Structure 1
Amino acid sequence: MVALPRLVVAAPSTGQGKTTVATGLMAALRAAGHLVSGHKVGPDYIDPGYHALATGRPGRNLDPHLVGEDRVVPLLLHGAAGADVAVVEGVMGLHDGRVGTDGFASTAHVAALTASPVVLVLDVARSSRSLGAVAAGMAAYDGRVRVGGVVLNRTGSDRNTAEVVASLERTGLPVLGSLPRDESLATPSRHLGLVTAAERDGSERLVERLGEQVARHLDLDGLLALARTAEDLPSEPWDPAREVTARTGSRPRVAVAGGRAFTFRYAETDELLRAAGCEVVTFDPLTDPTLPAGTQAVYLGGGFPEVHAAELSANHSLLRDLRLAVESGVPTVAECAGLLYLARTLDGSPMAGAVDAEAAMSERLTLRYPVATAPADSLLARAGEQVTGHEFHRTRTSPVAEGDGAWVVDGAATGFATPTTHASYLHVHWAGHPRLAQRFADAAHAATPHVPHAVPEPVAEPVSGDHGPVDPLRHHGDREVGPGLLDLAVNVYAGARPAWLDRALHAAIDDAASYPDARPAAEALAHHVGRPTGDVLPTAGAAEAFTLVARLRAWQRPVVVHPQFTEPQAALEATGHRVTEVLCRAEDGFALRPGSVPADADLVVVGNPTNPTGVLHPRETIAALRRPGRLVVVDEAFMDGVPDEPESLVGEASEDVLVVRSLTKQWSVPGIRAGFVVGGPALVEELVRLQTPWSVSGPAVAAIVACCSGEARAESAARAYRLDAWRAHLEAGLRDRGLEHVASAAPFVLVRLGRGAREALREHGVAVRRGDTFPGLDPSWVRVAVRPPATTDRFLAVLDELLVTT
C-alpha cells in the first residue's frame, strides 16, 4: 500500500476554469513549501507544460485509453514519487469520456481508478442558484466518484456569489474558495487549443500569479485536508526498467526534437528510452544547424510546426542533414508534427523531404481516440498488432498514406512506414505499449552513428585590438554588459524574484530607520544548514567573507587554486599577502590535484563548483587538502545551483575548513550583498571580531531570513533543477557545433571559442565574460552564463552566424 495525498480538479463541462484552478493550486502549494506532482487526465500535452512550470517537475498524463486501466495508478505513483501531494487536472466535463464507451477515460473514470476525491470547479459568471443543482447532480451521479468540495471560479459581485454559496448549502459540499474574475490570467488560444507554456512569453510569471491568486482566495488547508482523505493505493509505482531491457555496452544517442515548434511528448517516452540503454539528447529544429553528432536514432514528437513553418523552412542546414540521416537509414519515428516536418512541404514552405507527401492546413479538425492496427511489419510494430492512440490536428497530407501505411485506423491506411522510418498522425503513449520503445531502442543500438553534413569550425581570428582590462583580478562580469547587449556575462539567475522575497525586501526598506540586527539571519541560517548558531556568520556577500579571511591571520603562504573567482586573491593582495597560484590544467579537465598544493601552504582557497570552469570537485578531493595548521576555504557561492548539492562541505565545515556561500546569484539580488560562512565556533568567533558593525544591511538580513524558509528551500531546489536543464540545453548546442567546452555543474559554461570571439560576439549584440582575467586562462576562453533555452538559442544563432562567416 502506498500513501499519496491527492485530489482531482474537475468541472461539469469544459471552459469552467479547471486549468486555471489546477495550475494555480499546484503553484500555491509549491510556494507554501510542499512538493507537488501535477497530472492531467487525457492525452493533452499543453496543460502538463503549465503544470511543469507550477511544480518544477515533469507534467504527467493519466489516460486509461492510451495506457490501459491497470497502468493508471502505477503511473500516478511513478510521477508523484517523492511528492507531498498530487493534483490531477481533469478533462472536459467530469463524466465526459470516449464517445460510445459509457464514460471510459473520463475524469470520473480516472478519479474512480485512483480513488481520488474530486474538487468541482464551477464558473459562476453566468449562473447562480442553478449551480447548486448542478453540483448536487454531479456528486450523486456515480457512486464510485466522491466529490469532496467546490471551488467557485470567475466570481463577480458579492451578491451573486452569496446566492451561489447558499444554493450549495443544500448539497453538503463545502465551498473551498472563490476565485475572482481576472481576464489577465487567461491563457491565449490557437487553432488546436491553448498556447503552450514553452511558446508563451511570461509563462513563468503567469503561473506564479495564478499561484498567488489561488493562495489568496482558496482554502489551501481545506484542499490539503481533502487530499489527505484519499485512501492508500494498493499498487507499486510504474518502473520503466521493468518494461524494457537495456543492452550492455554503448549508449546510442537518440536525438529528440524540442524547442518552441516541438513541445509535445510524454515524459515516459524519454524514461523508457533511457531505461533501454539510450542517451536522449534534445535538439531544436528552429535553431540547430545539424542533428547532434553521433545520432543513432531520431524522435520527432508533436507540436505546432504549422505556426513556425517559415522559421523551420529557413533552417536549410538542419533540414538537409535530417533528410540525409533518414535516407541513410537512421531509425526515425515521427508523430503528427514530426510527420509534417518530414514532408516535402508544409503550407508551401519546404520541409525535410524525407517523406514523399505534401502537408497543408485544412478546414476540418481531426480529433479521434482510435485503436490502430499495424498493417505490416515496421520499425515499431509487427503485422496485426494493435495500439491505442489519439489524433488532434487540422492539417492533411497528400497522399494520406504510402503503401500499407504506418497504421490502419477506422479501416483506412494512414501514415508512412519503412523498416527504418515510422511517421503518422497517431500519438501513442509508449508507457501503454512499451514494446514500441524497445524496438526503437534496439534499432538505435544497431544503427551506425550519423555524421552531420557540416561541422563548423570555432571562431579563431581576433576582430579588435582589445589589450585587456587594467586590473584583471577586479574584473567582473558586470563590466561586460551594456545597453542593447544580450547578457550572458553576469552569473545571476535569469528569472523574476519570488513574490515572498520581494515582500521581505520591501518590508526591510520600510524599516530602514532602524540599525540592522543580524541575529535573526544567523538563527535562520543555523536552522537552514543544520548547525549551531555559533557555526554560522551572515556576511555582506561572499566578498566580505574573503576580506575577513585575508585579515584573519598573518598568512605565511596563502594559496589560491586557479582558474577561480579572483576576489579571494584580490583581498589577500590588498592586505599585503603574497599569493601562490596553483593552476588546474585544461588537459586534465581543470580537475583539482591536491598534491600540487605546496605542503607548507597555511591557507588554501578553492571554488566548488569553481568559477569559471564549472567543475564540481568531489568532497574527498577537497578533504585531501587538509593539513595541521592549514585553513581550507571552500567558495561554494554557486553550490545552491547544483541539484541536491552532492559535494557541499557545509555539514563538515570545522576549525580548519571554512565554507563561503552566497545568496545573490540564486535569488537574483546582487545589489543586496547577502551571504554567509560556516565553520567551527572558534573560527567563526575570530571572524566575528573582525567584522565591521552593521556590515550586513537590513535588506540583506531580510533576504537571508526569507531565503531560509520552507518555501524558499522548495523554490531553490526547483531553480537548481531548472538551471541544470538550461545548462544541458546550452552544452548540447555547443557540442552539436563542435565547440570545445568544459563539462559544468554550475550556472555557467567555460567555452573555448578562439581569440577575438568575445569581441565578435559583442559586435553582434552578445555579452559574455572574458576568460583571460582568470589566472590560467588565455583570451580564447569565455564564460557563458546559463539562461532559459529561448535566450540560449539567440546566443547560438549568433554563434552560427559567426561560424559561417569564418
Structure 2
Amino acid sequence: MTPGLLISAPSSGSGKTTLMLGLLRALRDRGLMVQPLKSGPDYIDPAFHTAASGQPSRNLDSWAMSPAMIAGLADAPGADLVLAEGSMGLFDGVAKPGEAGTGASADVAALMGWPVVLVIDVSGQAQTAGAIARGLAGFRAGVTIAGVVLNRVASPRHEALVRVGMAEAGVTVFGALPKQASIAVPERHLGLVQAEEHPALEALITQAAALVRERLDLDALLAAAAAHPAQTAGTARIRPPGQRIALARDAAFSFVYPHLIDGWRKAGAEILPFSPLADQPPDPAADTCWLPGGYPELHAGALAAADSFRTGLSAFADTRPVHGECGGYMAMGAALIDKDGTRHRMAGLLGLVTSYASRKMHLGYRQATLLTPTPGHASASRLRGHEFHYSTIVDQPDPALATVTDATGASVPETGSYRFQPGGGRSTGTYFHLIAEAS
C-alpha cells in the first residue's frame, strides 16, 4: 500500500487547504507522483487538489462509506505518496457512527494507518500550542501524530516561543509558515470559491509551493509517511443511473463526487456532458439525465433565459428519467426565488419552488430510504449522502421521494419529490447529494 499522510488541524480555518496545495505542488515539482484525497463531503477542495497535483482527487467518508470502500478508493498504485486533507478538526464528526465511523478525519487516518500532520494556527498563542498538540496526540488510540506545521507565525521570536512549547510536548515541528494573506483561498457561502472560478489559481498554488519549500522540512515530512491499512480494499458498489448519462457540467452544476463518476464509467456507462448555462440541452442519445448540485442561485437569470436547455430537458424528461441533486433539484422545479426576492422560471419538471430570499442553513449527513425508484436505485434502497444549502422550500406539491433522516436518526422534512411525465418519463430530485449505498 502506498505510504500516506493526513493533513488535519484542531479546527476549521487553520490553513489546511493552503498547506495541502503547497505540498502537492512542491512534491510534484520534485518529480513525485502524489495522489490527493479529501476526507469528508466536500466538492470544492478536490478540484484545487487536482490543479495543484495533476492527479484527480477523490473523497473518502467514514460515515457514508464502508471500510472496504474507503480502502479501495485510497489505494493508489503507481503513486509515491498519498496526501489526504481532513475536514474541520481532526476528531470532529457526528455523534452516532455510520458505516466506518463518525465522519471524522481521524477515522480515515486510523483505518489506513496514515500519520497525521497537524496544521496549528498559532496566532494569539505561543507555548500553549504545544499543549494543544500533545492533547490531540493522546486523544485516540490508533491515531498517530507525526508532527505539526505552525501557521500564521507573527515573527521569529514568536516562532521560537512556539517551538519551545512543542519541544516540551515532545512534538516534531516540520516547519513554520508566516501570516501571508495573499495566498489565502477566498470563500463564499457554501465554502471556497470553485477552482475554475479563481482568477489567479496557478499563481496562488505556485506561491504556496514556494513558501512550503522555503519553510518546511520536506524530507522529514516524507520520511514520516506510512500506511498500515486495517481493512482489505474492496470494490465500491456504485450503480450508474443509466448506460448513457447526460450530465450537466458547468459553473452552475459542478457538485458531483469524483468517485461516483469513476464508478459509473467502471460499470460501463458513458458520460455525455452538457452545459445548461451555455443553453445546451441534454444529448438526445442519452437514456438518463443527471443534474448535479452547484450554484444555480448565482445563475438563476441565465437559467431562466436558457430556452433551448429548458425545451430540450422537457422533451428528454417526457420519455426518460431525469434526476437532480440539490441545485439540480432546484433547477428542475417550477421557480427559484433569488436573494433579492426575484422569481425566476426553472424547468418545471417538478412543482418545487425554492427561495434564497429567506436564508436558512441546512447541513448534515442524510440517510434516505427510497419510496419510489430513482435512476440506478430501486424502491426501498437505502442511500447515504450529505445536505448543505441555504435555500428554503416555498412549495412542494409532488409526492415525497424518500423518507430521510439525519445522522442521529431524526426525521428530516426535505424528502425530495418525484413526478411522472406524460410520455412515461420520471423526474426525481433530492436536496441531499448521494455518496454511497448503505450496507
Q: 1:30 aligns with which of 13, 28, 44?
A: 28
Paired residue for 2:250?
A: 259
* TM-score (normalised: structure 1): 0.50
Separation of aligned partners in 2, 1:355 and 1:104: 34
Shift of 1:207: 2.0
Q: 2:364 aligns with which of 358, 368, 383?
A: 368
Match of 1:311 among 302, 307, 315: 302
SS of corresponding position for 1:65: coil
CA spacing shift, 1:260–1:379, aligned 2, 3 Å? closer
Instruction: Name the structure 2 match of 1:295.
Output: 286
Secondary structure of the residue aligned to 1:52 is helix
Q: Is 1:88 equivalent to 2:93 in the alignment? A: no
Amino acid at match of 1:87: L
Matches within 5 A, 1:664-683: none
C-alpha distance in 2 between matches for 1:145 and 1:104: 15
CA distance in 2, matches of 1:243, 1:183: 41
> What whole-Å deviation, never above 9, does each CA across 1:159-206 have from its counterpart, x for those lacking one?
111100110001222110111111011111111111111222222332
Deviation at 1:135, TM superposition (A): 0.4
Q: Could you tell which deviates more after superposition, 155-164 or 340-349?
A: 340-349
Q: Which amino acid aligns with 1:26?
A: L
- Determine the C-alpha separation between the residues in 2 that align with 1:401 and 1:75: 39
| Cα pair 2:69 2:235 within 8 Å, conserved | no
Q: What is the TM-score of this pair, normalised by structure 2?
A: 0.90
Q: Which is bigger in relative contact order (C-alpha 8 A, separation at least 6)?
A: 2
CA displacement 1:390-419 (0-9 Å, x = unmatched): 100001223346223344334346111246
Contact 2:111 2:230 in 1 (8 A): no
Q: Give the aligned partner of residue 269 of structure 2.
A: 278
Distance 1:406 1:232 in 2: 35
Q: CA deviation at 1:281?
A: 1.8
Query: What is the CA distance between 1:380 and its match in structure 2?
Result: 4.5
Q: Give 1:392's match in structure 2, choosing from 388, 393, 397.
A: 388
Secondary structure in structure 2 of the residue aligned to 1:312: helix
What aligned pairs does 1:97-136 form with structure 2 within 5 A after superposition? 97-101=93-97, 104-136=102-134
Tell me if structure 1 keeps the 8 A contact 2:292–2:324.
yes
Q: Deviations over 1:728-780 (max 9, x none)?
A: xxxxxxxxxxxxxxxxxxxxxxxxxxxxxxxxxxxxxxxxxxxxxxxxxxxxx
Matched letter for residue 251 of structure 2 = R
Q: Which residue of 1 aligns with 2:435?
A: 429
Structure 2 equivalent of residue 655 of structure 1: none
Spell out the pairing of 1:493-508 with structure 2 (5 A cutoff).
none
Structure holding more strand per residue: 2
Within the alignment, does 1:330 sit opposite 2:330 as a pair?
no
Following TM superposition, by how much is the alpha carbon of 1:93 offset from its aligned partner in structure 2, in angstroms?
A: 0.7
Q: 1:243 to 1:426 in 2, by over 3 A?
A: closer
Aligned counterpart, 2:423: none
CA spacing shift, 1:94–1:197, aligned 2, 3 Å: same
Return the alpha-carbon distance in structure 2 between the equivalents of residues 186 and 342 of structure 1. 35
Match of 1:353 among 334, 348, 355: 348
CA distance in 2: counterparts of 1:392 and 1:23, whole angstroms? 24
Opposite residue 370 of structure 1, the aligned amino acid is: R
Tell me if structure 1 keeps the 8 A contact 2:401–2:428: no
How far apart in 1 are the matches of 2:97 and 2:235? 29
Deviation at 1:271, TM superposition (A): 2.0
In 1, Cα distance between equivalents of 2:104 and 2:271:
32
The Cα shift of 1:334 comes to 0.8
Give yes or no for contact 1:16–1:153 (8 Å, CA) kept in 2: yes
When residues 232 and 353 of structure 1 are mapped into structure 2, their CA distance, relative to the original with a 3 A threshold, is: closer
Structure 2 CA distance, aligned partners of 1:20 and 1:93? 16
Deviation at residue 384 of structure 1 after TM alignment: 3.4
Name which one, 1 or 2, has greater alpha-carbon Rg: 1
Distance 2:62 2:276 in 1: 32
Instruction: Give the one of 203, 228, 232 matched to 1:231.
Output: 228
> Equivalents in 1 of 2:375, 2:252: separation in Å?
25
Q: What is the CA deviation profile of residues 640-682 of structure 1, one whole-angstrom value per residue up to 9, with x for unaligned ones?
A: xxxxxxxxxxxxxxxxxxxxxxxxxxxxxxxxxxxxxxxxxxx
Q: Distance in 1 between matches of 2:60 and 2:152?
A: 27
The answer to whether the aligner puts 1:417 opposite 2:418 as a matched pair is yes
Amino acid corresponding to residue 97 of structure 1 in structure 2: G
Per the alignment, do residues 282 and 23 of structure 1 end up closer, same or farther by CA in structure 2, a change over 3 Å counting?
same
SS in 2 for 1:13: coil
* CA shift in 2, pair 1:93/1:234, >3 Å: closer
Conserved 8 A contact 2:324-2:430: yes
Structure 2 unaligned runs (5+)? 338-342, 421-425
Aligned-pair Cα RMSD in Å: 2.3
The residue type paired with residue 358 of structure 1 is V
Structure showing the higher helix proportion among its residues: 1
100-109 or 142-151: which moved more?
Answer: 100-109
> Is 1:342 aligned to 2:344, yes or no?
no
In structure 1, distance between residues paired with 2:115 and 2:150: 17
| Counterpart Cα distance in 1 of 2:198 and 2:307 | 26
**Aligned CA distance change for structure 1 residues 344 and 141 (closer, same or farther; 3 Å):** same
Is the alpha carbon distance of 1:306 and 1:296 closer, same or farther for their aligned partners in structure 2, counting shifts above 3 Å?
Answer: same
Deviations 1:135-154 (A, max 9, x none): 01000111210001110111
- Aligned to 2:173, which of 169, 172, 175? 175
- 1:203 corresponding residue in structure 2: 201
Mapped partners of 2:375, 2:244: distance in 1:
17
Q: Distance in 1 between matches of 2:229 and 2:243?
A: 40
Separation in 2 of the partners of 1:232 and 1:334?
A: 36
Matched positions, count: 421
Q: Tell me the amino acid that sits aligned with residue 416 of structure 2.
A: G
Contact 1:41–1:90 (8 Å) recurs in 2: yes
Separation of aligned partners in 1, 2:359 and 2:25: 37
> Does the 8 A contact of 1:405 with 1:413 survive in 2?
no
Change (3 A) 1:40 1:167: same
Task: Please tell me whether the aligned partners of residues 130 and 171 of structure 2 are also in contact (alpha carbons under 8 angstroms).
Answer: no
Shift of 1:331: 1.7
Q: Secondary structure at the match of 1:208?
A: helix
What does residue 757 of structure 1 align with?
none
Identity %: 36
Q: Supply the distance in 2 between the matched residues of 1:301 and 1:314 (Cα, whole angstroms).
A: 20
Question: What runs of 5+ residues in structure 1 fail to find an aligned partner?
Answer: 435-806
Q: Deviations over 1:519-544 (max 9, x none)?
A: xxxxxxxxxxxxxxxxxxxxxxxxxx
Q: State the match for 1:140 in structure 2.
A: 138
Question: What CA distance in whole angstroms lies between the structure 2 residues aligned with 1:235 and 1:380?
Answer: 26
What per-residue deviation string (whole Å, max 9, x for no partner) do you get for residues 469-493 of structure 1?
A: xxxxxxxxxxxxxxxxxxxxxxxxx
Q: Displacement, 1:357?
A: 1.5
Name the CA distance, whole Å, in 1 between partners of 2:159 and 2:176: 8
C-alpha deviation, 1:83, in angstroms: 1.3
State whether residues 375 and 408 of structure 1, in contact with CA within 8 Å, keep that contact through their aligned partners in structure 2.
Answer: no
Amino acid at match of 1:416: S
Q: Deviations over 1:111-137 (max 9, x none)?
A: 111111000110112211110100010
| Secondary structure of 1:33's aligned partner | coil
Q: How does 1:625-774 map to 2 (within 5 A)?
A: none
For 1:55 and 1:252, locate their aligned partners in 2 and report how far apart those are by CA, in whole Å.
31
